[in-house]
Structures are given as structure tokens and as C-alpha cells.
């Protein structure tokens, strides 16, 4: 056997230098580990709790009830002719997925340092597992949304709202948000590995971004002078698109879509580069 020939089945791990991009082959080789992490995320999320997966329903239901009282009854914020319960639940479907994926991705390096320091595997498998496992919560919450939708449609407040012909593009909206939260999370994970202040910043950013996004109010109610700021927010388009598809109550447009997709792609690509630059030696500094 020549010196340059490696035995069949042997994996050689070599150090890399400088900037590098995503290694799709390596991620594919570790696909079984990825699904193990997905199962770990799902099984451990509500482990040793009384309600277990029911929390997937309880949390958005209670949040919607609070929004209905504070913003609909007290604040008198209109919901574009849609029952407030459906308006808020629809927004929370997307927002909860974004916030959970963003925060879990942002804590990738710090929260898994004990595992990363013992054995090598592609670090991206951990945040990717969060992107996939959080879809379970979306599916359960969508069932809740469907039940409330059926109740409202057969009740006295039934109106012209409902599914549109664009509803088939619903998976594309969630894919958009998955890439957006993944990109932002990778940036914060890289920064948190060197500066722990960003771990505190993650929670604050999530709270701030929710009020800066049309989760509790329709985009049509944003004053004209503030509209450019709302348009810069990459979450504005998917939120409005989702309400347009499920309730015929959103106002997405081509300009919003182009801006949002551009920000998402730039954030994702730069986030992958920075994350893989940092993950090579973060064990030495964390």
C-alpha cells in the first residue's frame, strides 16, 4: 500500500486554514448524527414536565389571549377585519419559529462546548438540528390555528377571510424564515464565542424585534413616515405573506420580498463564513 493511500472506511481529519465555505459532503456523511441531534432536541425540550408536548399549544394560546386583551381590547389595534384570535395566532406561527431557531442557533458554541471539546464532527449539525426540530412545534401550533379557524368560520364573526390560491407556497415562507433565523443565529453564535455580552443581547434582540415586526399589528397600520423602516425588517415580508396566504389579510409586495430575500441571503452566507472561521479555534478561547 502506498503512503498516500488510505484504507477503505478510514476518515482523515485535517486542519483547514483561512476562510472556507460550507462542506456539503461532510454534512451528508454525518446525516445520521444530525437526526440524532434532532431527536435529542425534541425529546429533551419538555423532559420531566407535567404537560410535555402540550406546552407547544399552551404557550401560543396563552400569548394569543394576552395579545387579545392588551392590544385588541385595550389598545384597540385593528386586525384588518380578521378575528383577533386568528390574526395573532397566524403571526405567532412564524414568530415563534424564528425566535426559537434564532436563540438555539445563537447558543450553539457556548452551550455545546463540552461535546465539541471531546470529539470532532461538523459543528453545523447542531444548529441545523434546531432548524429541523423546531418545525415540530410549528406543526402542532398549526393544528391549533386550524381548530380556531374552523370555530371562527362557523361562528357569528365569520367573514371574507380565508385561504388564498397562494397557500401552496406556505413551505417556502417557512424555509425563508428558517434561513433568516439560521443566518442571524450563526452570526451571534460566532460573536458569543468571543464576547459573552452577546448572549444577553440575543434575548433582548428577540423582544425588540417582535415589536418592530408586524406580529401584533398589520403593516397597513404603519404610518407612512415609518414605512421604510418596517420595509427594512426582513421579517415583515414573510409575516405579511403568511397572513395573505392563510387569512387573505396581509399586504406583501414585490419590493418587500426582494429586500427581505436579499437580507436573508447576505446574512446566511456571511454567517456561514464567520461561524466556520470561529468554530475552528473557539475551544481555546471560550
pLDDT in tens, 224-257: 888 888 889 999 999 999 999 999 888 888 889 9
pTM (two decimals): 0.88
Mark 95-115 as b/e (b = at least 16 C-beta within 10 Å).
bbbbbbbbbbbbbbbeeeeee
CA angle, residues 122, 125, 129, in degrees to nearest 5:
175
The pLDDT confidence band at residue 24, using thresholds 50, 70 and 90, is: confident
Better-predicted residue by pLDDT, 165 or 49:
165
The per-residue pLDDT for 202 is 80
| Whether residue 284 has pLDDT greater than 60 | no
Q: What percent of the chain has pLDDT over 70?
A: 87
Mean per-residue pLDDT of the chain: 84
**Mind listing the pLDDT tens digit for each residue in 77-119?**
888 888 999 999 999 999 999 999 999 998 888 887 777 777 7
Tell me the C-alpha distance between 201 and 168, whole Å. 36
What pLDDT, on a 0 to 100 scale, did the predictor assign at position 14? 54
Lowest-confidence pick of 40-44, 123-127, 262-266? 40-44
Amino acid at each position: 500500500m502506498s503512503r498516500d493511500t488510505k484504507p477503505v472506511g478510514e476518515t482523515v481529519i485535517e486542519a483547514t486554514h483561512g476562510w472556507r465555505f460550507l462542506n456539503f459532503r461532510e454534512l451528508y456523511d454525518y446525516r445520521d448524527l444530525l437526526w440524532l441531534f434532532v431527536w435529542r432536541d425534541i425529546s429533551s425540550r419538555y423532559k420531566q414536565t407535567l404537560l410535555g408536548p402540550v406546552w407547544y399549544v399552551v404557550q401560543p394560546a396563552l400569548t394569543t389571549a394576552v395579545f387579545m386583551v392588551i392590544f385588541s381590547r385595550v389598545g384597540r389595534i385593528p386586525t384588518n377585519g380578521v378575528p383577533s384570535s386568528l390574526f395573532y395566532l397566524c403571526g405567532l406561527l412564524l414568530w415563534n419559529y424564528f425566535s426559537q431557531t434564532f436563540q438555539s442557533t445563537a447558543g450553539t458554541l457556548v452551550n455545546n462546548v463540552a461535546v465539541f471539546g471531546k470529539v470532532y464532527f461538523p459543528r453545523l449539525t447542531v444548529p441545523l438540528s434546531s432548524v429541523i426540530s423546531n418545525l415540530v412545534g410549528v406543526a402542532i401550533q398549526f393544528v391549533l390555528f386550524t381548530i380556531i379557524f374552523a370555530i371562527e368560520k362557523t361562528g357569528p364573526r365569520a367573514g371574507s377571510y380565508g385561504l388564498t390560491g397562494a397557500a401552496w407556497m406556505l413551505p417556502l415562507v417557512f424555509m425563508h424564515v428558517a434561513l433568516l433565523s439560521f443566518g442571524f443565529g450563526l452570526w451571534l453564535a460566532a460573536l458569543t464565542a468571543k464576547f459573552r455580552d452577546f448572549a444577553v443581547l440575543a434575548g433582548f434582540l428577540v423582544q425588540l424585534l417582535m415589536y418592530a415586526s408586524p406580529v401584533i399589528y398589520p403593516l397597513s397600520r404603519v404610518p407612512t413616515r415609518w414605512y421604510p423602516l418596517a420595509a427594512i425588517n426582513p421579517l415583515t415580508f414573510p409575516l405579511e405573506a403568511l397572513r395573505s396566504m392563510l387569512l387573505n389579510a396581509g399586504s406583501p409586495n414585490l419590493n418587500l420580498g426582494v429586500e427581505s430575500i436579499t437580507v436573508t441571503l447576505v446574512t446566511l452566507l456571511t454567517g456561514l463564513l464567520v461561524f466556520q472561521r470561529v468554530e475552528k479555534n473557539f475551544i481555546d478561547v471560550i
